[in-house]
Structure 1
C-alpha cells in the first residue's frame, strides 16, 4: 500500500493518509514538515510553497497557487532532520525521486537526477565544440584528418553508458 509503488497518487489519498509529525519551518511563502503515512508508516519531508501569480495581478479570477512536494525519508533521515544535523531545503537537498502535485491536484513521481545528466551532456557538448574549433584552426580538412578527428571524439566516450571517459 506504499505510495512508492504507485505511478500516480490521488490527492484524496494524500489528504486521508498523511499526518504531520513535526513542523520544521513555516513562513508566509513556505512550509517544511515531517509527515507520516498512517497506512504504510513511511515518513516524508513535506514541502509546500505559495506561488504568487505576479503576471496575473489585476486579472479577474487570478489566484495564487500552493504546490506540495513529498520526499520519502528513511529512519536515519528523519532523525538527522529532527536533530538538526541534516539539511533538508528544496531543491539543493532533494536528490532522489519525490512526489509533487500538479495542476489537476494529483501527485506524480519526479526524478531530479535529470538535472545532473543535463549538466553532464552540456559539458560533453562544450568539449566537442572546443575540439571542433581547434580542428578547424589547424586547417587540414582532408578526409583522413576528419576521420582522425571523429575517431578521437568517439574514443572519448563510452558507448555503453553515454558518459565521457
Structure 2
C-alpha cells in the first residue's frame, strides 16, 4: 500500500487549523520593531521585541515594565514604547532631573544620561492610568508632555515587552 493522497477537504482542514492557531497566538503575543531613540540604551532603533498582549489581563502593571501603547495625538494613532514609572494613585514628582515616587527618589540605572532641565511635574497618577517615561529622557515624548500625558491601562496599553535582543 502506498501513501494516501490528501484530499481537498484535508487541505481545507489543515489551512483552517493553521489560521486558527495563528489567530490565537496573535491575540496573546505580538512581534514588533522598536522605532526611535526614546528607549536607548535599553532598546535601540529598529530592534525586534516580543510583546505579551495579555499581561495586564492576568496581572497588574509593575514599575519598570516596558509597555507598548496607543497614543492619540492630533488625529494620528501612533504606538509608543516607554517604561512604567508611576502606578495608579502614586504621587510622581519630577524635579531637577530626578524622579520621586511618593517622596522617595527612584533609582534608575537604565537611563541613557542625566535628565536636562525640564518643567517640574507634580501629580497623582489617576486610577486606571500609568505615568511613563523613555530611558533616553532628553529625547523622549512621554507622560511629562501634556500632549501625551497619562496612559490608560485598559484602553491604550497594547502589550508588555517580554523579550528583546541587545
When normalised by structure 1's length, the TM-score is 0.22
Per residue, is there more helix in 1 or in 2?
1
Per residue, is there more strand in 1 or in 2?
2
Higher Cα Rg: structure 1 or 2? 1
Relative contact order, higher structure (CA 8 A, sep 6+): 2
